[in-house]
Amino acid sequence: MLTTGDIVSIVFFLSTILILMTGLPVAFSLAGLSLVFAFLGHMLGVFDYSTLINLPLRYFGVMSNEVLVAVPLFVLMGNVLQRSGVAEDLLTTMGKLFGARSGGLGFSVIVVGAMLAAATGVVGATVATMALIALPAMLRVGYQPRLATGVIAASSTLAQIIPPSTILIFTADILSGVNQAAQMRLGNFAPTTLSAGDLFAGALLPGLLLVVLFMLFMAVKAVFQPRSCPPIEVTDAERRGLPVAVAKAVIPPLLLIVAVLGSILAGIATPTESASIGVFGALLLTWANGRLSWGLIRDAGKGTAVTTAMIFAIVLAASLFSLTFRGLGGEHMVEEALTNMPGGVVGAVLIVMAVMFVLGFFLDTFEIILIMLPICGGPLIVLGVDPIWLGVMVGLNLQTSFLTPPFGFTLFYLRGFAPPSVETMEIWKGAVPFVGIQIAALVLVWFFPGLATWLPELLFR
């Protein structure tokens, strides 16, 4: 039997989803709606205003959280690299390296997409770079439009899961809090902490698995449908100069990736410290390419400030949402619903993943994890779900949603940069096989959880 608090909680959650779908500013609509339902709950006698006393402490905790300082630093690193010319050099060189054979340009796009994901951690920047540079080259050579756009869209979404992803930083921070609370409820008053490094390590193998699966798909295309991905002409002079060109284009960003990600996984530096190393390295690469200028620094800084302000405004609004929802008793209702779900733990995880997948059609990834994880993360961990595995599954799931037509955000980004000659339906069709590959990766991590948990155990336990 539903209580008044349960009914208000359900209406609150559904109203939140609906108002976010309208396109109104997320931070203000989320915070405003939370206050409206806090007042409504108080009038109905199911909400105590004293619940909101913790709000200033939450805000202070968020703004003073040293781990979250890594977010603006990684965003700045991505903005600098986007303007540095590193991506252009990588695509041009890798295109010549692989391009002399069928599917070669596709292979180069996948490799460069993975490297940019590890260097920037921002999907939008990767899509823009790949669409502006790689797509015209692939179409000019004669690539099937749907294959070209599918490879670019799929490779760009790797920034969601391959560390150091900003999404993984927030996911780790949220899961760390709910994991401690869940473990204490289970009687474990000294729970193992969950860090961004844990989730970075957990996401690394699934991210590389996706790269391998994308490459295998491209190889199958090259063998059975070579006309869909023809080779490019490489002159003898270009072929002779390839070793030096590859070294100059690949080694500097690879060193940056090793310095940033390797320092975290080796336990030498925190994510914040490694992010500062990354910013310095990105500036150094930009200077080496002859593109460092005050204008570039100003534009990168402005873009970083806008993105960071948007992200943390949503974080603060989501804190108000979480407190209000918990104060209305919604958290207990969700826990009871997941506990009594048919199929036990499997059914509970499936329903949460399904809801997140559908929300990924309409909401940004930040909004989804900031709303859903505080609500569902704790109950799932109480049921016995490993928090690292859960974080990786959420990342893969939302990455798949980002790519699924007709609502996938990556497809909208790509549509904005693709030439008018490429029809929207071609972009959608091109994404379908890669969505299938993403689902296959999800299934593999589901049945072989060691793909997500083995490396963190090895490095940090």
Over residues 392-432, the pLDDT tens digits come to: 999 999 888 888 887 777 887 788 878 888 888 888 888 99
Closest-CA residue to 218 (of 383, 120, 102) = 102
Residue 84: per-residue pLDDT: 80
Give the span between the Cα atoms of 350 and 65, in whole angstroms: 32
Give the span between the Cα atoms of 335 and 377, in whole angstroms: 10
The DSSP secondary-structure symbol of 260 reads I
Judged by DSSP in three states, 296 sits in: helix
Given a cut of 70, whether residue 391 has pLDDT beyond it is: yes
Higher-confidence residue of 346 and 91: namely 346
> Residue 362, class by beta-carbon neighbours within 10 Å (0-12 exposed, 13-18 middle, 19+ buried)?
middle
For helices 294-327 and 4-21, the axis angle rounded to 10 degrees is 160
pLDDT tens track for 241-271: 777 877 888 888 888 888 888 888 888 888 8
Question: Cβ atoms within 10 A of the Cβ of 169, count?
Answer: 24
Closest-CA residue to 313 (of 111, 16, 28) = 28
DSSP notation for 365-385: HHHHHHHHHHHHHHHHHHTT-
> Residue 90, class by beta-carbon neighbours within 10 Å (0-12 exposed, 13-18 middle, 19+ buried)?
buried
Given a cut of 80, whether residue 389 has pLDDT beyond it is: yes
- Whether cis (ω within 30° of 0) applies to the bond prior to 164 is yes
Task: Return left, alpha or beta for 290; rule: phi > 0 is left, psi -120 to 50 is alpha, else beta.
Answer: left
Give the span between the Cα atoms of 171 and 377, in whole angstroms: 10
For the chain, how big is the Rg over CA atoms in Å? 23
- Those residues with Cβ within 8 angstroms of residue 35's Cβ, 6 or more apart along the chain or in another chain: 320, 324
Residue 439: per-residue pLDDT: 93
Residue 191: per-residue pLDDT: 62
Task: Return left, alpha or beta for 344; rule: phi > 0 is left, psi -120 to 50 is alpha, else beta.
Answer: left
CA distances from 91 to 94, 160, 296 (A): 5, 20, 21
Give the span between the Cα atoms of 67 and 30, in whole angstroms: 24
The DSSP secondary-structure symbol of 160 reads G
pLDDT tens track for 143-166: 899 999 999 989 988 888 888 888
Q: Which amino acid is at 41?
A: G
The DSSP secondary-structure symbol of 362 reads T
Residue 461: per-residue pLDDT: 66
Give the span between the Cα atoms of 401 and 62, in whole angstroms: 28
pLDDT tens track for 110-155: 988 888 888 766 676 677 777 777 888 888 888 899 999 999 989 9
Q: Record the pTM.
A: 0.88
Residue with tokens 């002859």: 290
Average pLDDT (267-288) is 87
Token readout for 249 is 């284009």
Residue 122: per-residue pLDDT: 67
Q: Give residue 445's pLDDT band: very low, low, confident or very high (50, 70, 90).
A: very high
> Residue 41, class by beta-carbon neighbours within 10 Å (0-12 exposed, 13-18 middle, 19+ buried)?
buried
pLDDT tens track for 169-203: 888 888 888 888 778 777 775 566 788 888 999 99
Token readout for 169 is 């930083």
Give the largest CA-CA distance in the chain.
80
